[in-house]
Structure 1
Amino acid sequence: MNYITVENISKSYGELELFSDLSFSIHKDDKIAFVAKNGSGKTSILNILSGADVPDTGQVVMRNGLRVSFLSQDPQFDPKLTINDTIFNSESPQLKIIENYDKALQNPEDAEAYQKAFEQMEIHNAWEFELQFKQILSKLNLVNLDQKISTMSGGQIKRLALAQALISNPDLLVLDEPTNHLDLEMIEWLEQYFAKAQFTLFMVTHDRYFLERVCNEIIELDHGKMYTYKGNYTYYLENKETRVAQEQIETGKAKQLFKKELEWMRRQPKARTTKSKSRIDDFSDIKKRAHLRRSDHNIELEINMERLGSKIVEFHKVSKSFDDLVILEDFEYVFKRGERIGIIGKNGTGKSTFLNMLTDSLAPDAGKIIIGETVKFGYYTQGGIKVKQGQKVIDVIKEFGEFIPLTKGRQISAKQLLERFLFDGKKQHDFVEKLSGGEQKRLYLCTVLIQNPNFLILDEPTNDLDIVTLNILEDFLLDFPGCLLVVSHDRYFMDKIVDHLFVFRGDGEVQDFPGNYSDFRDYEASSPPVEKADTTTTISSEKKQDQNKAEKLTYNEQKEYKNLESKIRSLELDKKSMEEKFLDASLSQDQITELSQKLQKIITTIETKETRWFELADRLGL
C-alpha cells in the first residue's frame, strides 16, 4: 500500500540549492533510513514530508486520511503545560478516552462519570493501549508527569517529543535523529520496539547499529542523486561499494573517450555537417561524465603531537556530589599513555561532571586530581560552537591554529583539515551562520583538532554528525596517538574506537570494564541478575565457576586479553580497507609498493596480537 509519493521536488535558500528533482516513495511497513551528508537538506526533506514545509518545485502526494507524526530535532511545547497536559494534547481518540478515565479516577464521588469512562475503556479496548503508553513514558524516564515544560532540559523535551510521537500511534512516523539525548538503555529499548512494532518509519539517524537492526530500506542522497537500497546497513555498505567502484570504472572509460573526442573536436573545420553537429552535442555529455569527481577521499595522518610525559592525569580518592546526588566516591585512577576510554551510564549519573572535573572547570569535594605538565587537553563539549555574526568558516579555524604538525617535518594546514572534514573551497568561505546544525558541529570538531591536543576529550561527538563524517572522524581517532576519553551513546563508534570503559552505575559507583561496548552488553546479559558482577576483576562473563582458571592471569593480563579482541577486530577492518585500495586501476607502481608495505605491517601486527591472544587464552584454559 503506497503512503507517500515524492515527485521531482527541489529546495533552495537564496543562491544555495539544497537538492533538485528528487523522487521516491514510502509504502506501508517500510522502515526507511535517509542517508546524506550534513548540509544536503535532510531536515528540509523531513519537514516537507511532515507538512511543516513545502518544496519549491515538484509535489508530495499523500494517501487520503494518512496520519503522520513528526519528531523534529528542536521540538517546541507550551512551557506553561505539564508533561501530562502535553501528552494528552492530542487528536488520538484512545488518548481522550484514557484522559477521561484518569480524571474520573481522581473524582471517585462522581460514580456516574466513572462508570461512563470505564465503559468507554471497555468498548474501545483501551486498557492495552494505556499499558503501552505508560511503558513508553517509563522507558524514556518521564516519570514526573506533573513537571512543567519550562523546567525541563533539552534532552527531556526531546524524549517527551519522542514519547508523544510514539503514543499518537500514527500510520507514518517521520523521525529526525531519534536516538539523540537518549542513553544507551533507552536506545536499545527503542531499537527493539521499532523492530517489533508495526510502524512505517522514515528517519534520519547516524546510529549505525540502529540502521542495521531496524531498517529494511536505505535511501541515499549522494552528489545530488538518489539511490535506493532494499536492505539494512550492511547491505547498503556492500552495494554502495559496488556502485562506487562501477562509477569509477565508467568515469575512467569516459575520460578515455573524452581525450579521443577532444582530439576530433580540435581537428574539425569551421563548416560542419549535421552528423558532426550531433557528435559535438554528445561531446558535452562525455565531458561532464569524464570530469565527475567524488569528494570522499581519505588523508592518512601520522600526527606529531607534543610528547606526553610519564605523569598524565591522576585521580586520588576523588569525591563529588550535588546535595543528595553522589557522582563520585573515593575514585582512584591513573591514566596511562595511549589509553582509549569510553564512558557510559544513564543520564544523570555524572558523566559530564566527571569531564568538567578532569579539565579543571569544576572542583572536587574531596581528593586530588593531578594533571601532568605536558598534558594539552582538547575538549569537545555538547555546547558546540558559538557562532559570530559575519565570520567565515576558514577564519574560525585559523583563530585556533594554522596547521597540525605531522611526522617527518610535514604538516596539514587548516584548509586541508577542513577539506578532510568535507568543507570544500567554496564552503570554507561561507558565513558560519549559513551552515546547518550538523555542519556547525563538524566545524567545532575541527577547531578542537587543529589545536593538536595530546589528551582528547569528546562529549557526545556523534550527535548531529552524518555517517560520512563519522567514518572520517573514526579514521582520524584510530590514527590519534594520544589519550582519548569519549562519552557517547553511539555503540558502533564506541566499539570501533575504545579499548575499555568507565561504567557510571550511579550513587558514586564507577567500574572499569576491560572491553568495548558490545563486550560489556554481552557480559551484562550473561551475568546472574541476583548479584552484581565485579567487572574490575573479571575478564569476561563466561563461566563464573571457572574463576580459579581466570586467576592464572593478573588483572592487567585479563585487561590485555579483552583489549586484544577489539584491537584484532579493528585491525581486520583496516586490513580489508587497505586491500580494497588495490582495486584502484590508476595506482602507480610506487603507490602499489607503499600500499603493500602498509598492508604487510598490518598483517604482521595482526599475527603478533593473535599469537599473544592464544597464549593468554591457553593460560585461561579456553
Structure 2
Amino acid sequence: MAPPLLTLQDVALTFGGTPLIENAELSIAPGERACLVGRNGSGKSTLLKIAAGFIEPDRGTRFVQPGATIRYLAQEPDLSAYPTTLAYVEAGLGPGDEPYRARYLLEQLGLTGEEDPRRLSGGEGRRAALAHVLAPEPDILMLDEPTNHLDLPAIEWLESELKGLRSALILISHDRRFLESLSQATVWLDRGITRRLNQGFGAFESWRDGVLEQEELEHHKLDRKLAMEADWLRYGVTARRKRNVRRLANLHTMRQQYKDHKRAVGTVSMTLAEAEQSGTLVVEADGVSKAFDGRPIVTNLSLRLLRGDRLGIVGPNGAGKTTLINLLTGNLAPDSGTVKLGANLQMVTLDQRRASLDPNATVAETLTGGRGDTVTIGGQTKHVVGYMKDFLFSPEQARTPVSVLSGGERNRLMLARALAQPSNLLVLDEPTNDLDLETLDLLQEMITDYSGTVLLVSHDRDFLDRTVGSVLVSEGEGKWVEYAGGYSDMIAQRGAGVQARAAERDARPKAAKAPPPSEASQAKRKLNFNEQHDLKTLPQRMAEMEAKIAKVQEIMADPTLYTRDPAGFQKAGAALSKLQSDLAAAEDRWLEVEMLREELGG
C-alpha cells in the first residue's frame, strides 16, 4: 500500500478554555476518498482546516508528502480580490496544470467566466469556488459542505465529476446520498477524539450505534444519574435513527395508497366527489398557468392533494418551485385556471429565508412566546423542557440566549418554533439547508409523525426518499409532472434526474455548445476532457488493477488459507471479484475511447 499523502497525529486544540479537539488522528492515501463526520459543533471544519494547514494545533504533528498539492474549499469562500470568476479560477492553477480546465469547469457549472465575483449569488459563488479547487486536479482535495447552495443538477454533476478524479478526497457534508456515493472510509469526530471506519458512510451509522451501545455497557456500573443528560444527546440520536429506519416500511405503504387514489397529472379535469368527508381535500389545482415576463413558470397544471399527502417538489434553481408553492397555497393568483383550497386549513410555512430569531430571548422564551413554561402541540400541553429535548436541546439550555447558539442549534430552534404552531398544512421550502445529520433525522421524524399534509421543496435526495409519497418535477417550459414515490422512484420511472434549466444551458458560452451536425463540424470533433483523461490514465490504472489481482490470487493460492482463516478467504474472494469487475469495466471504457480516437483521426 502506498504511504499516506497526509497524516495528523495526536492533534489537540482548545478554544476559549474548552478543549474542542483532544486526540485526533487523520490520514489519507493517494486516491482515497474519506468523509469526516460528527455532530454539529464537534470541530469537523476546524480539523479540516488543521489538515489544510490554515490552523496551527496546540499539540500534535502534521505531515504532508513533499510535493503533494492540496486544495481546500471553505464553507464561505472569498472571491472579492478578483475581477472575474475566470481570473479567480485561474489563480488556483499551478505551473504544470492544464489552463483549459478553468474555463471547462466554469462552463460545466453554468458560469461564463466573466461574472463579477462581488455580485454573485450564494449558489454562483459556490460554483466558482468549486471550479477553483477542481481545476488543478490536486493530490488532496478537501471539501467543506460542497453542496451548500447548489441545486440538484449541480449536486449530481459534482458527484459524477468527483468520482472521475484521481485526487484523494476528504469530505464534510450533510448530504447522506452524496456521502454514500463518494466515500470509501469514514472518520468520526466525537467528543474531541477520532475513530476510523474503513468503509463508506453507508455503513457508518450502524457501526456508530454499536460503538455507543458498547460504551454504554462499559459504563453501566457508574452512577447513571450523573451521566444521563450528557449521554441522552448521543443515545437519543441513535434511538431516533432506529425508529426512522422502521418507519420507512410505513412510507412504502403510503406510496402505494397514493397510487391507488391519485389520477394522472396533466390536463385532466379533476372534481371533488360530494360524498368525500369534509376536510379530506386540501388543494385542487385545475389547468393552472403562470408566467413572468413571458417566461412560463407553470403551464396547465392539474393537481389534487388530499389530507395526509406528502408532496416533494424538485427542479433546478430558477424553475419556479417557490412560485408553484405560492400558487398551490393561494398566496399567488394564477394567470389562468383555478386553485381550490380545502376547508379549515391552518398553514405553517418555513421558507428559505428562515424567520429571524430574537438574539436576546432565551430558548424557552422563543418557544413559548414568553408566556409560561408550556407549549401546546396538537391540542396537548407539554412542558417546554420536554419539547426542547425532542429537538436535541439539553434542559440546561432553556435559559440560554439565542445569541450564543451555534448555527445548527438555531436551525433546530426555528424548526421547533414553526412546528409548535397549530397547523394541518406544513409548507417547507428548502428546510434542509445548513442542517446537520442529526437535525435532518429529527425533521424526518417530525414529518413522519405529522398528521396533516406536507408540501416540501428540497434538493436533498435522501431526505426526499425518506419523507414524501410523490414527487412533482419540473420538465422545463412550465411543465410539471408528478411521479409516485420518492426521488429514487422518480428516476426509475423518468429515466433521469433533474436537468439544468434550459435557459441556464443556453446562457453558457458558445464554445461550450455543440456545433451543427455538418461534415465540417464532424471533422473538427475532438476528444473531450474526460475522454482525453481516460485515454491517458486508464492503461496505468489497468496495470495497477492487474498487479492487485495477481497479489490476491497469490494469497488465495495458499491451500491452507480457508482452513486457517475462513473470513480472510471470503474477504479475499470478494476483493478479487470486485477487482476483476473493475478491470473489465476499465478495459471496456479504454477500448471505447480508443476506437473513438481512431475514428476521429488520431
Give the TM-score of the pair, scaled to structure 1. 0.67
Tell me, yes or no, if structure 1 residue 293 matches structure 2 residue 231: yes
Q: In structure 2, what is the equivalent of residue 280 of structure 1?
A: none
Secondary structure of the residue aligned to 1:47 is helix
Q: Matches of 1:231 and 1:461 in 2, distance apart? A: 29
Secondary structure of the residue aligned to 2:480 is strand
Q: Matches of 2:14 and 2:364 in 1, distance apart? A: 24
Q: In structure 2, what is the equivalent of residue 75 of structure 1?
A: 77
Secondary structure of the residue aligned to 1:418 is helix
- Among 310, 313, 329, which residue is 1:343 paired with? 313
Assess if the C-alpha contact under 8 Å between 2:35 and 2:201 holds in 1: no
Tell me, yes or no, if structure 1 residue 219 matches structure 2 residue 187: yes
Q: Matches of 1:457 and 1:291 in 2, distance apart? A: 33
- Among 132, 147, 151, which residue is 2:119 paired with? 151
Q: In structure 1, what is the equivalent of residue 477 of structure 2?
A: 507
Cα deviations by residue, 1:442-489 (Å, 9 ceiling, x for unpaired):
222112111132111122222222222222221221111111111112
Cα deviations by residue, 1:298-342 (Å, 9 ceiling, x for unpaired):
57899xxxx982442233433222214321123222321111111
- Judging changes above 3 Å, is the alpha-carbon distance between structure 1 residues 519 and 82 closer, same or farther for their aligned structure 2 residues? same
- Among 391, 398, 422, which residue is 2:361 paired with? 391
Q: How many residues align?
A: 458
Q: In structure 2, what is the equivalent of residue 177 of structure 1?
A: 145
- Judging changes above 3 Å, is the alpha-carbon distance between structure 1 residues 414 and 291 closer, same or farther for their aligned structure 2 residues? closer
Runs of at least 4 residues of structure 1 off by over 6 A? 287-292, 299-302
Q: Matches of 1:331 and 1:47 in 2, distance apart? A: 48
Cα deviations by residue, 1:123-178 (Å, 9 ceiling, x for unpaired):
xxxxxxx3x55543333222x32222233211111111111111132221111111
- Judging changes above 3 Å, is the alpha-carbon distance between structure 1 residues 45 and 429 closer, same or farther for their aligned structure 2 residues? farther
Assess if the C-alpha contact under 8 Å between 1:457 and 1:486 holds in 2: yes
Q: Matches of 1:432 and 1:385 in 2, distance apart? A: 13
Tell me, yes or no, if structure 1 residue 442 matches structure 2 residue 418: no
Q: In structure 2, what is the equivalent of residue 168 of structure 1?
A: 136
Cα deviations by residue, 1:477-520 (Å, 9 ceiling, x for unpaired):
11111111111121111111111111012211111112211111
Q: Matches of 2:21 and 2:376 in 1, distance apart? A: 34
- Judging changes above 3 Å, is the alpha-carbon distance between structure 1 residues 350 and 62 closer, same or farther for their aligned structure 2 residues? same
Give identity over the alignment, percent.
31
Tell me, yes or no, if structure 1 residue 320 matches structure 2 residue 290: yes
Displacement of 1:17: 4.4
- Among 22, 25, 40, which residue is 1:23 paired with? 25
Q: How does 1:500-579 map to 2 (within 5 A)?
A: 500-525=470-495
Tell me, yes or no, if structure 1 residue 494 matches structure 2 residue 464: yes
Q: Matches of 2:437 and 2:64 in 1, distance apart? A: 29
Displacement of 1:199: 1.5
Q: Matches of 1:207 and 1:52 in 2, distance apart? A: 25
Q: Matches of 1:493 and 1:435 in 2, distance apart? A: 25
- Judging changes above 3 Å, is the alpha-carbon distance between structure 1 residues 322 and 82 closer, same or farther for their aligned structure 2 residues? farther
Q: In structure 2, what is the equivalent of residue 196 of structure 1?
A: 164
Q: Matches of 2:432 and 2:486 in 1, distance apart? A: 17
Q: In structure 2, what is the equivalent of residue 275 of structure 1?
A: none
- Residue 231 of structure 2 aligns with an amino acid whose one-letter code is R
Task: Choose 198-207 or 224-233, whichever is displaced more.
Answer: 224-233
Cα deviations by residue, 1:370-409 (Å, 9 ceiling, x for unpaired):
4334212221212234243433333222239842435xx7
- Among 48, 58, 81, which residue is 1:46 paired with? 48
Secondary structure of the residue aligned to 1:175 is strand
- Residue 86 of structure 1 aligns with an amino acid whose one-letter code is Y
Displacement of 1:290: 9.8
Assess if the C-alpha contact under 8 Å between 1:159 and 1:181 holds in 2: no
- Judging changes above 3 Å, is the alpha-carbon distance between structure 1 residues 336 and 70 closer, same or farther for their aligned structure 2 residues? same
- Judging changes above 3 Å, is the alpha-carbon distance between structure 1 residues 369 and 150 closer, same or farther for their aligned structure 2 residues? farther
Assess if the C-alpha contact under 8 Å between 1:330 and 1:367 holds in 2: yes
Q: In structure 2, what is the equivalent of residue 8 of structure 1?
A: 10
Q: Alignment RMSD, CA only?
A: 3.2
Q: Matches of 1:292 and 1:449 in 2, distance apart? A: 25
Q: In structure 2, what is the equivalent of residue 136 of structure 1?
A: 105
Cα deviations by residue, 1:34-55 (Å, 9 ceiling, x for unpaired):
1111122222222333333333
Task: Choose 22-31 or 507-516, whichever is displaced more.
Answer: 22-31
Secondary structure of the residue aligned to 1:472 is helix
Q: Matches of 1:288 and 1:85 in 2, distance apart? A: 57
Q: How does 1:280-429 map to 2 (within 5 A)?
A: 293-295=231-233, 296-297=235-236, 309-399=279-369, 402-405=374-377, 410-429=380-399
Q: How does 1:31-42 map to 2 (within 5 A)?
A: 31-42=33-44
Displacement of 1:362: 4.3
Assess if the C-alpha contact under 8 Å between 1:385 and 1:440 holds in 2: no
Q: Matches of 1:234 and 1:71 in 2, distance apart? A: 24
Tell me, yes or no, if structure 1 residue 481 matches structure 2 residue 451: yes
Q: Matches of 1:443 and 1:15 in 2, distance apart? A: 26
- Judging changes above 3 Å, is the alpha-carbon distance between structure 1 residues 308 and 415 closer, same or farther for their aligned structure 2 residues? farther
Q: In structure 1, what is the equivalent of residue 212 of structure 2?
A: 244
Cα deviations by residue, 1:341-367 (Å, 9 ceiling, x for unpaired):
111111111112222344455444444
Q: Matches of 1:177 and 1:197 in 2, distance apart? A: 18
Assess if the C-alpha contact under 8 Å between 2:377 and 2:421 holds in 1: no
Query: Which structure's CA Rg is the greater one?
Result: 1
Assess if the C-alpha contact under 8 Å between 2:92 and 2:133 holds in 1: no
- Judging changes above 3 Å, is the alpha-carbon distance between structure 1 residues 292 and 489 closer, same or farther for their aligned structure 2 residues? closer
Task: Choose 242-251 or 518-527, whichever is displaced more.
Answer: 518-527
Displacement of 1:69: 1.3
- Residue 283 of structure 2 aligns with an amino acid whose one-letter code is V
Q: Matches of 1:396 and 1:405 in 2, distance apart? A: 15
Assess if the C-alpha contact under 8 Å between 1:432 and 1:440 holds in 2: yes
Displacement of 1:293: 2.5
Q: In structure 2, what is the equivalent of residue 103 of structure 1?
A: none
Give the TM-score of the pair, scaled to structure 2. 0.69
Assess if the C-alpha contact under 8 Å between 2:297 and 2:477 holds in 1: yes
Assess if the C-alpha contact under 8 Å between 1:499 and 1:516 holds in 2: yes
Q: Matches of 2:164 and 2:82 in 1, distance apart? A: 35
Assess if the C-alpha contact under 8 Å between 1:33 and 1:218 holds in 2: yes
Secondary structure of the residue aligned to 2:66 is coil
Secondary structure of the residue aligned to 1:312 is strand
Secondary structure of the residue aligned to 2:495 is helix
Q: In structure 2, what is the equivalent of residue 186 of structure 1?
A: 154
Q: In structure 1, what is the equivalent of residue 440 of structure 2?
A: 470
Q: Matches of 1:387 and 1:289 in 2, distance apart? A: 31
- Judging changes above 3 Å, is the alpha-carbon distance between structure 1 residues 308 and 224 closer, same or farther for their aligned structure 2 residues? farther
- Residue 182 of structure 2 aligns with an amino acid whose one-letter code is V
- Judging changes above 3 Å, is the alpha-carbon distance between structure 1 residues 454 and 224 closer, same or farther for their aligned structure 2 residues? farther
Assess if the C-alpha contact under 8 Å between 1:35 and 1:467 holds in 2: no
Cα deviations by residue, 1:421-456 (Å, 9 ceiling, x for unpaired):
222123343332333322222222112111132111
Q: Matches of 1:154 and 1:69 in 2, distance apart? A: 20
Q: Matches of 1:374 and 1:12 in 2, distance apart? A: 54
- Judging changes above 3 Å, is the alpha-carbon distance between structure 1 residues 412 and 37 closer, same or farther for their aligned structure 2 residues? farther
- Judging changes above 3 Å, is the alpha-carbon distance between structure 1 residues 85 and 397 closer, same or farther for their aligned structure 2 residues? same
Displacement of 1:291: 9.5
- Judging changes above 3 Å, is the alpha-carbon distance between structure 1 residues 457 and 88 closer, same or farther for their aligned structure 2 residues? same
